[in-house]
Amino acid sequence: MKLLASRSQQTPEPNTFTQQQRTQTKQALRQQIQEALQTAQNLPADACLCKIKDRLLAIQKYCETVHKTFIVVEETITCDQYDLGGDHGDAATLFRGPSEDASVAICVTQRGSLLYRNGCSWQIYKNVGDIHPVESLAGAKKLLAIAIAARHESIANR
């Protein structure tokens, strides 16, 4: 596990930010992350990982200019961790905040799958077959159960 940039390089956040400035900064961060994911999803595995890492470093530099702290931890994991639903033998790189249970994360598997989490479920940008996120399976099962219940109800109402 390693930090992409040290905390000492960050400048303290002034208390003079308006709500509008905070909102604009959050929107800019979301946009930069989405652009990185959109670009990286079409790249081979090694290039995808490099693109994500480079874009996260660029986002850190942007945050320094607006006096925000943006800490990214790079961690090597296996695809059976963090509800990825893959095999223990498949490796991945997880980028997350300083908290081990951070809700925002980006994952790039060694084979090239790309996922983003902002909350509790993973959004898949590219799946090469080495991951099967638990939330996606649970969501699919829930939708199937709803569809079956609706079908039974329509049959019963005939």
Each residue's pLDDT tens digit in the chain (158 positions)? 455 654 434 444 455 678 888 899 889 999 999 999 999 999 999 999 999 999 999 999 999 998 888 899 999 999 999 999 999 999 999 999 998 878 889 999 999 999 999 887 899 999 999 999 875 554 555 556 666 777 767 677 76
Establish if 7 belongs to a structural domain.
yes
Distance of CA 9 to the CA centre of its chain: 24
Establish if 138 belongs to a structural domain.
no
Q: Give me the pLDDT at residue 105, please.
A: 95
Domain count within the chain: 1
Establish if 136 belongs to a structural domain.
no
Establish if 156 belongs to a structural domain.
no
Establish if 69 belongs to a structural domain.
yes
Contact assessment for residue 105 and residue 116, using Cβ atoms and an 8 Å cutoff:
yes
Establish if 103 belongs to a structural domain.
yes
| Domain span at 79 | 2-131
pTM of the model: 0.74
Establish if 119 belongs to a structural domain.
yes
